Amino acid sequence: MTGELTIGNNQILLCKTNLKCIANLANFKENSSITRVNFLILVYAKELDEVFVPESLAAKLKVMTENQQFITDRVTVFTAHADSLGGLAQRAEDILAGKTFEGEEEPIMSLAVNVLKDMGVYKDSITLNSKEAAAQFSAVKERVYTLESDSLFPRSLKYSLAKNKIMSLVLSQPGYGFLTSEKYGNKSILNVGITNSMIESLQRMSYDTTGNVNFLNSPYVAVTIHKKDHFNPDMNLLPKVFVFDTSANILDYDFHGRVASHLQNLNENSNLESILNSINVFRFNLDNNGKLIKQASTGYPEGIFNRDVMINHVHDYCLKEYMKLTSGLDFNEESFLLLSEGLDQNKINSTVLTRDALKVEYEKILARIENLYPDVQTDPQLKSELFRMTKLIKQSAPFSFANKFKKIIAPKSFDRVYSVMINEKDFLIDLEPGNLNASSADVSNIFSQQPSFSVTAKLSRPINLADNNQSGLTNASQGSQSDNIVKYIKSIDENFPGVYQYKAEVSLLPLGFYIGSEKAVEQLSSDTVAPPVLAVNAERVELDPESAIKFKF
């Protein structure tokens, strides 16, 4: 018995010693959580002196061994996390010092860091650029920086006849409210910006809220436009919903600088369907090592999984071109920089390399123009033309390098900006607000035809009212709801005045949702996705609050 007790005491002493060693190991960094674990280990080791009971020595030793293993495992986790954080910190320091992930010196990376500092956007670029913005660098570069062949001007300044023809063909299609003959009140182009880092935040928030892994890499968003009628504030209207793939880009040039196929192959026989099938869709993404992944595809379902979603992207592409041609306004993401000071397009910004030489050269050009056209001060028409000429010269590559470079690498206020077409009187009344499973039967009783529901700008409201719109509807709804129906019927008249406002809502959709029979998948990954968790049917689009995390603005 004495020998057994001696062995038991030796094991307890060994256990105490091990626990104290673990406590010392856990105290390798000044961390509140680790210090707390260290304290608990020391307390537990101290209490071992009081738990020894000879009659149940084997049971006590078993419990102590299990607790020792438990504590060891937990301390190991802290150690692993600390090592991981240390490794990430070192990688970040290497990148900021111009090194690769492997810690090797890379001259081109050092040059990039120095250029960012020279341009005055180093801090903002490092801290404010989101993953989506970094992936968009190549798309922005094609739009604003790449020069036209044998020219000093970027491709974005060149007028494209083919793009204009596509715009005219797409925006003249009936059924979407583009035509003056479609009497649905005022027509508006709404530009909805998805703010910096919103997509990444929504992905994390959605996963944390629902536990659904299909949110983590989903690029799909639903842009919902709500209308509030201030003349009838108690009347609820069904929103217009648009689904977009935020990873998809429609560009004018491919990765090799060639004109995109949807512009190159356009002919007199082209129609909307042929355009949808020929649209080049480009994607840019970053892998876990920060390397850029590029992908090019064509049409649907190869480029974008669904025809309606493709229509939304083509409308966005054409509406931006329409606004640029008619008003000179560019609503692409690079027009909304997240900088403390905006870009001064009237100023020649020099770099460290050019110093003042660039400004001196520009002044020489102005002096030469004045010598060629001495009447510029007295001839108003000539003065106006020369003013346009000098503005254009400032947009050429030598004099606009700094501003255009900033447009690429500076953080953007919006990760994506989508342009959608809205007709003022194309909103249907919601007879059962708050009921996501409500039938459209009551709504259809108002009109002579069945309303149309889609995830595009397609017109929803039929033109003609039902013959029995007063008596039949009164029986279907009572009290204030009946009054709202009467007010709604009056409000959709073409000449009826209205005071209203629009509100946009952005929702993240998980991978695996359906539009009709077509399933949304991740385009840049071959990973399989879980079974579908959201369906968008052809009659009414409804998003389950637990299946879509939203931002309103």
Quick: pLDDT tens for 466-478.
765 444 444 444 5
The angle, 0 to 180 degrees and rounded to 10, between the axes of the packed helices 357-372 and 397-409 is 130
User: Mean pLDDT across the chain, nearest whole number?
Assistant: 77
- One-letter-per-residue 3-state SS of 440-485: CHHHHCCECCCCCCCCCCCCCCCCCECCCCCHHHHHHCCCHHHHHH
Confidence class for position 27, pLDDT limits 50, 70, 90: very low
- CB count within 10 Å of CB 204 equals 12
What CA–CA distance (Å, rounded) separates 278 from 258? 15
pLDDT score of 291 = 76
Q: Which two tokens stand for residue 485?
A: 């129906």
The larger pLDDT score, comparing residue 477 to residue 464, is at 464
- CA-CA distance, 181 to 49, in Å (whole number)? 92
> What would the two tokens of residue 393 be?
């010269």
Q: Is residue 44's pLDDT more than 60?
A: no
Residue partners of 317: CB distance under 8 A and separation at least 6: 250
The SS3 call for residue 82 is helix
Token reading at 343: 């870009």
State the pLDDT at residue 532: 32
Q: Say how many CA atoms lie within 13 Å of 59 toward its Cβ.
A: 5
Any long-range contacts for 285-290 (C-beta under 8 Å, 24+ apart)? 285/135, 285/247, 285/524, 286/131, 286/134, 286/135, 289/101, 290/101
Question: What is the rounded average pLDDT of the residues 44-72?
Answer: 65
pLDDT band at 312 (very low <50, low <70, confident <90, very high): very high
Alpha-carbon gap, residue 282 to 248, rounded angstroms: 6
**Residues belonging to the chain:** 553
Residue from 264, 325, 275 nearest 169 by CA = 275
Nearest to 282 by CA among 424, 143, 427, 393: 143
> ∠ at Cα 274 (269, 279), nearest 5°?
125
The amino acid at residue 167 is M
The whole-angstrom separation of Cα 106 and Cα 98 is 6
Residue 326 has pLDDT above 90, yes or no: yes
Task: For residue 401, report the phi and psi dihedrals to the nearest 5 degrees.
Answer: -55, -50
- Tell me the three state secondary structure of residue 322: helix
pTM of the entire predicted model: 0.74
Question: Cα–Cα distance between 130 and 480 in angstroms, integer?
Answer: 48
Query: In Å, how far from its chain's centre is CA 437?
Result: 29
Cα(239)–Cα(504) distance, rounded to whole angstroms?
10
d(CA 246, CA 220): 6
- Nearest Cα to Cα of residue 262 among 314, 320, 221: 314
**Alpha carbon distance 445, 436 (integer Å):** 19
DSSP track, 368-399:
HHHHH-GGGGT-HHHHHHHHHHHHHHHTSHHH
How does residue 412 score in pLDDT terms, banded at 50, 70 and 90?
confident
- Nearest C-alpha neighbor of 535 from the set 437, 439, 449, 416: 437
- pLDDT reading at 534 higher than 50: no
Cross-strand pairs, 187: 423
How far is it, in rounded angstroms, from Cα 232 to Cα 481?
A: 12
Predicted confidence at residue 136, as pLDDT, reads: 78
Yes or no: say if 524 and 516 are a contact pair by the CB < 8 Å rule.
no
310: nearest Cα among 387, 243, 404? 243
2-22 pLDDT, tens per residue? 444 444 455 445 445 544 544
The half-sphere exposure of 155 on its side-chain side, counting CA atoms within 13 A, is 20
Which tokens sit at 464? 């003609």
CA 39 to CA 261: how far, in whole Å?
Answer: 68
The residue that leads in pLDDT, 265 or 121, is 265
Q: Which residues contact 481 (CB under 8 A, 6 or more apart)?
A: 431
Classified as helix, coil or strand, 327 is: helix
The 10s digit of each residue's pLDDT in 232-290 is 888 889 999 999 999 999 999 888 888 899 998 888 888 999 999 999 999 988 777 76
Task: Lowest mean pLDDT of 94-103, 178-187, 232-241, 303-312, name the range.
Answer: 94-103
pLDDT higher than 60, residue 161: yes
Find tokens 């798309």 and name the residue.
139
Contact call for residues 394 and 400 (beta carbons, < 8 A): yes
51 has pLDDT over 60? no
Per residue in 195-219, pLDDT tens?
A: 988 998 999 999 999 999 999 989 9
